[in-house]
Structure 1
Amino acid sequence: MDEKLITIKEASLNNNCPECFNTNGLQLTFKQKFVETSLYKSITSETTQSIYCNTCNTDIFPVMWTEDIERVFAYHQKAFVPKKKSTKLKRKAWLLIGSFVIVILAVIIAAVLYR
């Protein structure tokens, strides 16, 4: 099972970085979990958020956030709309389902004919 996070929304923040105090390097990213197996692809409802400073190349963790960053984060979080949870079956799954249905139909027909 292959799990990865796909980026849904990115926003540049004009707040001061808590590490380097630069005002134009912060990047807020919202990601959603994507699962892929040999039978299906699925987008889950699980989301993650992160803030990264492109100037000093540092992840800004929530304990380092200032009140201004928290306010801007809350604003963007309210505006964030994740993709709907969905599952799509792959061709292999459809072939398994089809063959299972054919076997069941064959058993039913054989039972009716050879009574």
Structure 2
Amino acid sequence: MYSDIGLLGELNKDGELVRAYGFNPVSAERGLWSGDLIWQIDVFGNSLRNESNHFSFIHTDQVSAPFIATNANGDTVWSVISKILIANSPAMEPNLIWKKLRIATMLEKSGCMNLMK
């Protein structure tokens, strides 16, 4: 699901919201499409008001690539371990939330990087 500023969310095959994204509005004003991700919500029950939803604050590097996500308590729920320049691998632990966004306009699907837009 997209808008003029970029990726707003992901829908499942039934058209229900499963993930929502929030981007820095200053980046959007500067014309950066899907740039500077600030938060992500993994949505359950097709509602942003569901208490079971997982909300994550996204921390990005100098090129707006997500490298760590934290919950409201400041606990790390996802991180990236750099292997080489540009090639990154998510550090996965049991029960951690997977972040599919990499850098602006890139969304990981099935282990491959897909350019969006």
- Determine if the TM-score, normalized by the shorter chain, exceeds 0.5: no
TM-score by length of structure 2 reads: 0.30
Computing the radius of gyration over CA atoms, which structure comes out larger, 1 or 2? 1
Structure ranking higher in helix proportion: 1
Q: Which has the higher contact order (CA 8 A, sep 6+)?
A: 1
